[in-house]
Chain A
Amino acid sequence: MDIKEITRDKSLGMTIIVKTISRLIVSFILVFGLYIVLYGHITPGGGFAGGVILAISYVLLILAFGGKVAVAKMSGFWASMWDNLGALAFVVIGFLGLIGGYFFLNFINHGTPGKLISAGIIPLCNIAIAVKVGAALYAVFLALSIYGRISTEEDE
């Protein structure tokens, strides 16, 4: 089924008020999460907090529209795939430091402190951790709210 049809299906998810508000707000949450991740080395925040915000924007989709819309946007398979890719990217960044000397060496030029593109590998590590944490928490919430439902309930 097309994703627009599932979104308009009135039997799924919550009421129309919740759906409209969350449709307006979800993109702002996503952008705020990206801001927290990308500016993690300059302002408070970083990969862990930003990753949880990214996961929350998808959790809002699950809560408001039901699990089907969220699965159509990103299925459980792709969520665990992003989880693994984030963890792998973090380890690979660590091993790339070996070309300069030791594990997790900050091998990229540090640049001017305080600018967005600075601090070598720290923004890259932040992005990898954010992808890992966000995808992992989204996957586990998807599993808790869809697969973890008691089988006697009828709305599966």
Chain B
Amino acid sequence: MLILFHILLFFMIIGSIVAIETKNMLSAVIAVGAVGFGVSLMFLFLGAPDIAITQVIVEVLSLVILIRATVYIDNRAIERKFDSFAIITGLLFLGFFIMAAVWAFGDMTPFGEPLMRVSRRYLSGTAAETGAVNAVAGVILDYRAYDTLGEAMVLFASILGALVILRNRGKKPVVK
């Protein structure tokens, strides 16, 4: 199982490198789709079918949004000039994050042995206390429904922002 996870993660990293470095924007977007489906497969093997379903569907819709709304307009690549300052800064940040992560992993619980103080309670009590067999649904909509309300409002606000930005009518013409 561990080897499978490593292979999938390598596949995702290669997919992200292709997505970042390729010249053609359409293939960049499709490579992001490959990374997303890899993530979804990983969720499935990690015992999270709820998230695997959601990830596949969201991946399809985000691919359609990226292709139809942006790449469809203008497919030209821009990277003509070699911008050494930005590349050095980016690589510096990459190295910094990996170093900080390796430093921080010393204090974390090892992979495969999570701290499940409150989760044990959720798992053993979900059918009796909420009536939902699916523990994730029980946590989302009963134990932590207030959190879900907040996240639904965040989604509402982001969609509202997109609609306000895209609206054309009702704008006053600029006086010259």
CB pair A125 B60 closer than 8 Å: no
Is A13 in the interface zone, CB < 8 Å from B? no
Q: What number of residue pairs across chains A and B have CB atoms under 8 A from each other? A: 138
- Knowing A42-B133, A46-B50, A90-B149, the reply to whether A148 touches B166 (Cβ < 8 A) is yes
Task: Report Cα–Cα, A44/B136, bound state, in Å.
Answer: 8
Interface segment, one of A2-10, A17-25, A50-58:
A50-58
CB pair B69 A46 closer than 8 Å: no
User: Would you give the shortest CB distance from A156 to chain B, in whole angstroms?
Assistant: 10
Is A101 in the interface zone, CB < 8 Å from B? no
What bracket does the count of chain B residues touching chain A fall in?
35 or more
Contact with B along A89-120 (1 / 0, CB 8 A): 01100100000000110100011011000111
User: Would you give the shortest CB distance from A138 to chain B, in whole angstroms?
Assistant: 10
State which residues 128-163 of B face A: CB under 8 Å.
128, 130-134, 136-138, 140-142, 145-146, 148-149, 152-153, 155-156, 159, 162-163
- Chain B minimum-CB-distance residue to A42: B133
Collect the chain B residues with CB atoms within 8 Å of residue A143's CB: 162-163, 166-167
CB pair B137 A122 closer than 8 Å: yes
Is B127 in the interface zone, CB < 8 Å from A? yes
- Chain B minimum-CB-distance residue to A146: B166
Task: Report Cα–Cα, A131/B74, bound state, in Å.
Answer: 33
Name 15 interchain pairs, CB-CB below 8 A, sorted by A: A41-B138, A44-B52, A56-B57, A63-B68, A104-B149, A113-B132, A139-B159, A140-B162, A141-B61, A143-B166, A144-B69, A144-B166, A145-B69, A147-B166, A148-B166
